[in-house]
Structure 1
Amino acid sequence: MPGRVVHSVDFQRVLATAPKARSAHFAAHHVADEPSRARGRPPTVSAEKLSTKTDRDAAEPVDKFRPGQWLGLVVPRRFARRAVTRQLLKRQMRAALQRHAAALPGGLWVLRLRSGFDSQRYPSAASTALRQAVRGELDALLVAAAAATRR
């Protein structure tokens, strides 16, 4: 499915490359390739058999990335202990890539949390201050990654 990196082989392939850009807490990795294919053939089901069939043929995709862009996220528990913090970070990472999708080349992108945020400075796991700090850092990271891939 275009939009997300789901196979561990793809994560390993992308993370084996040097990061295109780094910030204090994040790293952006990129490989100009498509994801690996799933093993076996997926079962085919006609649209008439699906309970979710609608008259609209053109449903909007869940991930609004350009065709040819796939995103993988790595948010280790050791850097973000609470699930609410990990989910906040993942939402911010997806939103940042959507904001910068036009400037980024196609291929597999993996955004990785490489160090934790200071719990003394951001005591609430879902605070506005943490949200703004993450957004600013991710925007700067993806601008640098776009510039690095153009070279």
Structure 2
Amino acid sequence: MQRLKTRPQFQAALAGGTVSRTAHFALHRLNLPQPSDFPSAPAECIGPAPSPAQALFDLSGVWLGAMVPKRWARRAVTRNAIKRQIYNVSERFGERLPVAAHVVRLRTTFDRKLFISASSDQLKLAVRLELEQLFERAVLQPIQPKAIA
């Protein structure tokens, strides 16, 4: 599994649409065309221009990014803990996810009255359980046949 690094990669994956939601997270997916969808031809042949997905992503794998905005997680410790949980849980589902670019986005805050510490074991457990639900739903979601360009 490869990580999204650039802003255009994140924007493209977010534009792909929401695949799954939980109370605090949303998973966005941009389906990538399979390498077999593009005929291989000699360089001197003129053909169609490459798709934007080809330019942004290596089409041979699963891509993942995590967005944890300051708006929903004020403390850096909390943001980093949530991102670590996203990447750890995603590793377990990496084999079952389709070849696509995925972005996990925190869409609301965890109540600071329930989770007083910025990085408590209770918060990490709550995040992990919710992320497992998010990825489980995403794996069950049918794959659209065509990539969004």
TM-score (norm 1): 0.75
Aligned residues with identical type, % of pairs: 39
Alignment of 1:2-151 (within 5 A): 3-33=2-32, 36-37=55-56, 68-150=61-143
Q: Per the alignment, in what secondary structure is the counterpart of residue 115 of structure 1?
A: coil
Instruction: Output the amino acid matched with 1:111.
Output: V
1:14 and 1:29 in contact (8 A); partners too: yes
RMSD across aligned C-alpha pairs, in angstroms? 1.9
Partner of residue 44, structure 1 = none
TM-score (norm 2): 0.76
- Count the aligned residue pairs: 122
Q: Per the alignment, in what secondary structure is the counterpart of residue 126 of structure 1?
A: coil
CA distance in 1, matches of 2:9, 2:15: 10
Change (3 A) 1:149 1:95: farther
Unaligned 5+ segments in structure 2 are 33-52, 145-149
Stretch of structure 1 that moved more, 128-137 or 27-36:
27-36
1:10 and 1:35 in contact (8 A); partners too: no
CA offset digits 1:27-86 (Å, max 9, x no partner): 011112256349xxxxxxxxxxxxxxxxxxxxxxxxxxxx60111111000100000000
Instruction: Output the amino acid matched with 1:23.
Output: T
CA distance in 1, matches of 2:15, 2:56: 19
